[in-house]
Amino acid sequence: MVMKQRELKPETLAKAASMLKAIAHPVRISIIRFLEHGKKKTVTEIHTNLGIEQAMASHHLVILKDRGVLASKREGKNTWYFLKHESLSYLLKCISDCCEEE
């Protein structure tokens, strides 16, 4: 199957590169994987599940949110983080498949 390639605007390419740079860190990949399938988690749930310090989790969440990878919603005392684009899960799956040894 041949897919027709569409022309991407320079602004779109710059945003895509920025998102990919933000994702390109082991902790951030772990955060994204933890938030797959529509999961919404607090920073406490994220740092506890990943076994990292809360400050480190917060630092990486800010980067992912600033680059448009994650979104958040404040409810009372908690801020819930979730994937802004669920299709990023597929991107990570493809990269993971490419990294597996044959």
Q: Any idea which residue has 């980067």 for tokens?
A: 63
pLDDT above 90: residue 19: yes
Could you read off the pLDDT of 53-99 as tens digits, one per residue?
999 999 999 999 999 999 999 999 999 999 999 888 888 888 888 88
Could you read off the pLDDT of 20-53 as tens digits, one per residue?
999 999 999 999 999 999 999 999 999 999 999 9
Which pTM does this prediction carry?
A: 0.85
**3-state class of 64 per DSSP?**
helix
d(CA 70, CA 81): 7
CA-based nearest residue to 49, from 22, 30, 75, 62: 30
Domains of the chain in sequence order:
17-99 (1.10.10.10)
